[in-house]
Amino acid sequence: MNCRNRKEGNAYLVNEFNQAKHNFVLQAVKNTSGFAQPYTYHIGLSMVAGTWIWDQPVTWSQPALQKWTNWGSGYPIASSSMSAVQNVQSGYQTYWQNTGLYTGGSKYVCETYTCDTDKYCVGASD
């Protein structure tokens, strides 16, 4: 997944800390021509050392999974080889399922933090 190579290294795989963020990301995917139904795309949740954590910029701490989750029935599957998470559409529902990190291709969604006086972005051109 190639988020870190975008926006001067300020991009990372999207987080879905709550239902509102999940809905926002899903709507953005629906409105993007590169995605088609059924929607399947990686998000920034992954298993690291036995804990589900969210991807963040390199200098930020990686927060653990919050109380809100969107796992599909039967997920997550307990397997060290299934450490990545993607949203999967089934009918009108979308849910998380864990999958192998390097098994096959899938679309993904990146986000970037805002550059300001607290998070100055060196070399940011826009």
pLDDT per position as a tens digit, 58-108: 777 777 788 889 999 999 998 888 999 999 999 999 999 999 887 767 899
**Where are the domains positioned within the chain?**
3-112
pLDDT at residue 124, as a whole number: 47
CATH class of 3-112: alpha beta
In contact, 89 and 40? CB cutoff 8 Å: yes
Q: Is 4 exposed, middle or buried (0-12, 13-18, 19+ CB in 10 A)?
A: middle
The better pLDDT of the pair 100, 6 is held by 100
Q: What angle do CA 46, 47, 48 make, to 5 degrees?
A: 115
